[in-house]
Amino acid sequence: MEEDESGVNHTRVGILFDRLRWEEKEISHEFRKRGIVAELIDSKNIVAEIGRPKSLSLPSLILQRCLSFHRGFNLAATLEAFGTRVVNSSSVLEICGNKLLTSQLLAKNGIPTPKTAVSFSLESALKAIESVGYPCVMKPIIGSWGRQVVPIRDRETAEALIEMRDQQAGDSTNSIFYVQELVDRPPRDIRCITAAGEIIASVYRYAPPMSWKTNVALGGRTEHCSLSRELEEIVIKTSQAISKDGILGIDIMESKSSGYVVHEVNGTVEFRGAQQATEKSIAGLIVQSILAKASDSGSEMKDGLEEEDAERRKDVLSAMQQTSTP
Amino acid sequence: MASANATKCPECGGVLKIQEDVVVGEIVSCSDCGSDFEVASLENGSVSLKVAEAVKEDWGE
């Protein structure tokens, strides 16, 4: 935390990245529109000395936007140990980055999810698959952009995939078999983006032709989704269960047999695709949410204006929060 | 170093177009060979590039 000579707290804002994408530039732009110069911090250049917070000179409020899960999670934990507030926090990133932890937390909070089983060895993998039943989907517990997500429609395929896993060199999470029912649904899912528990965008994501994966990164398209009261409640409940302050991308499927099911929560949400189907600026709403939380916590934003007294800064911040987004 | 509008692709020698509003850390891609480069620095309207970090298996949401 930074204090000037009069003891007034000034909080700088940073956007932590490893690959600077459209999303990070938009967020930076939205801060700038509100008179705040957010520092774009390349995580690849950071060297931190454990136990020495002063080894880094970084803002006390940081928006974590690293594309790499491990880098983002570990950096968030490092910065938090130095007293930095990171959004999303390392504990939120850890949950969202691990499908098993996410499933457990959703189930614990009574949020509907697809039928899921997990086993922890090759020997028991087939039992996990057959407890869910065919057709099902095997997913890596830590993975993204639909990679290594494989549908399994019969025992023969199951045995072949288990054998392939056995042959794969790589990380030790290969011995974790996370299996989920293949949900019978329309060729789309629903992506809702929440900020501090409020829904700021909701879109349908349609799979590209000849594919069942709806990731926009894989060529899916988006369309605005109007939320029913039931779906709104599920999304808000999910948001509250994972993180009261965080920025989340919540993915829901419309199961023909069991209704809405939440299948994933993303802790570093990509929203270029969702923006195409959303009128208001998603980046602007994210920035508004962060500023509102910063105000609630009592810290002030260093906003690029000339040095002024604490009262005028509070007035400026209040006015920024009331600015409507395009 | 080259102008802020276009430069020669370090990989294939093709024309690599760069947006006027490019910032340090941003990725620019060569439309000829598909290689990705990261803007390493911007000085006096000149752009310096380095090879972008390769996509890894834990990237993405």
Domain boundary pick from A181, A205, A220? A181
Distance CA A216, CA A190 (A): 12
**Same domain as A127, residue A79:** no
Look up residue A325 and give its amino acid.
T
Write the pLDDT tens digit of every residue in B36-51: 999 999 888 788 999 9
Chain A residues touching B57 at Cβ < 8 A:
143, 147
Give Cα A144 to chain centroid, integer Å.
11
Structural domain harbouring A238: 184-267
Instruction: Categorize the per-residue pLDDT at A216 as very low, low, confident or very high, splitting at 50, 70 and 90.
Output: low
Q: What is the pLDDT of residues A141-188, one digit of tens each?
A: 987 777 778 899 999 999 999 988 888 766 678 889 999 999 999 999
For A37-79, how does the pLDDT look when each residue is reduced to its tens digit (9 = 90+)? 999 999 999 999 999 999 999 998 999 999 999 999 999 999 9
Report the C-alpha gap between A79 and A101 in whole angstroms: 23
Give the mean pLDDT of chain A: 86
CA–CA gap between residue B47 and residue B23 (Å, rounded): 9
Higher confidence at residue A293 or residue A138?
Answer: A138
Domain ranges of chain B: 2-51
User: Same structural domain for residues A51 and A82?
Assistant: yes
Q: Is residue A109 part of a domain?
A: no
Q: Is B59 on the interface with A (CB under 8 A)?
A: yes
What sign has the CA pseudo-torsion A282, A287, A290, A292? Answer: negative
Q: What percent of chain A has pLDDT over 70?
A: 83
| φ and ψ at residue A66, rounded to 5 degrees | -70, 140
Q: What is the pLDDT of residue A293?
A: 79
Going by C-alpha positions, the residue among A130, A126, A127, A152 that lies closest to residue A139 is: A152
Work out how many domains chain A is built from and give that number.
3
Nearest-10 crossing angle of helices A310-322, A282-296? 140
Residues A124 and A154 in one domain: yes
Contact A64, A248 (CB under 8 A): no
Q: Is residue A38 part of a domain?
A: yes
pLDDT confidence of residue A208: 76
Q: What is chain B written as a DSSP string? A: -EESSEEE-TTT--EEE--TT--TTBEEE-TTT--EEEEEEEETTEEEEEEPPPP-TTB--
B20 touches A: beta carbon within 8 Å: no
Alpha-carbon gap: B60 to the closest alpha carbon of chain A (Å): 5
Closest CA to A144 of B54, B58, B11: B58
Residue owning tokens 């310096």: B48
User: Which of A244, A267, A290 corresponds to the end of one domain?
Assistant: A267
Same domain, A168 and A203: no
Quick one: which of A238, A256, A235 has its CA closest to A103? A238
Q: Do B57 and A44 touch (CB under 8 A)?
A: no
Confidence of residue A4 (pLDDT cuts 50, 70, 90): very low
pLDDT score of A147:
74
Q: Is A309 helix (H, G, I), strand (E, B) or coil?
A: coil
Which CATH class for the B2-51 domain?
Answer: mainly beta
Select the more confidently predicted residue: A118 or A302: A118
Domain of A249: which CATH number? 3.30.470.20
Q: What is the pLDDT of residue A302?
A: 37
Which of B27, B57, B59 faces A20 most closely, judged by CB atoms? Answer: B27
What pLDDT is stored for residue A320 in this prediction? 47
Residue A94 has pLDDT above 50, yes or no: yes
What's the pLDDT tens digit per position in A240-287? 999 999 999 999 999 999 999 999 999 999 999 999 999 999 999 999
